[in-house]
Structure 1
């Protein structure tokens, strides 16, 4: 039974495989670059919004600090009320720093989609293994087992 003219043979498919793998790797690289660029752009816009908010927050905090010191100064001496407000601000700053570090670590742009696709591609390629059972092998010794090798021209072997 002959092969239909619109179907590629095994050797034709194997000849196309290296170029297809290179094309797949190039496309996944481009996808990863695009994904990182999108995530970095969103991160940059978010950072700009935070900078603007911090500018206004700086002046608001100054006003609140002055109001807190003046309010507490009605009960305690001014120096003691300023000390209490200063310690409270240092504690708030420490909490904000720790929260910011945690958010930055969690927000590092990683191209998860592209990595997932590459892992799937590698998994699919690892299923293609050379079956060297057709070729006789030398007896095994105490050394590590030999990995199957590619058939040389004219030798038998198959892919599965």
Structure 2
């Protein structure tokens, strides 16, 4: 079997395979690290939003206590205004909590794209193993240039 000068032989390709697998594993690790970092940043923003909500809630509780005290001391104007401020702060806190929870749920750090690529790589390696074992058994043949063989 002759080959062109610019094509590598089987032995040369097999020698390069471990290095290529290591390089592939390193690249997928870096991709997973980048993907997780982006998702953790989004989760951090959601956590910050919840902290802001707790800040508003702290002052809302103080405002509601002031409203109760003012309501007892003076019949309408002071406590009504304090109650309105307290309810406004509670509404702000609720909006910040909902936004924070939504951001945290959306940012669960699972490197989905990297997992898909690794699964594709493992499927490709499984195809190579399947074709090699079929060739060793003598049953099915490896794919040939003329279109004959075991094409999956």
Give the aligned length: 113
- Within a 5 Å distance, the mapping from 1:45-60 to structure 2 comes to 45-60=45-60
Residues 125-140 of structure 1: matches in 2 within 5 Å?
A: 125-129=125-129, 130=132, 131=134, 132-134=136-138
SS of structure 1 residue aligned to 2:4 = coil
Equivalence map 1:141-152=2 (5 Å): none
Moved over 2 A (4+): 61-71, 102-108
Provide the rounded CA distance (Å) in 1 between the counterparts of 2:37 and 2:66.
43
User: Does residue 110 in structure 1 map to residue 114 in structure 2?
Assistant: no
| Shift, 1:103, TM fit | 8.2
Q: Does 1:15 align with 2:50?
A: no
Residue 51 of structure 1 deviates from its aligned partner by 0.3
1:42-67 CA distance string (max 9 Å, x none): 21122112201220122124434665
Show the counterpart of 1:93. Answer: none
Please, what TM-score do these two structures have when normalized by structure 1? 0.55
Higher percent of residues as helix: 2
TM-score, normalising length: structure 2: 0.58
CA displacement, residues 47-92 of structure 1 (integer Å, 9 cap, x when unaligned) = 1122012201221244346658959xx9xxxxxxxxxxxxxxxxxx
Aligned-residue CA RMSD (Å): 3.5
Describe the superposition over 1:90-118 as per-residue Cα deviations: whole angstroms up to 9, x where unpaired: xxxxxx8xxx6x98677531111111111
Unaligned runs of 5+ in 2: 76-96, 139-150
Separation in structure 1 between the aligned mates of residue 12 and residue 107 of structure 2, nearest angstrom = 46
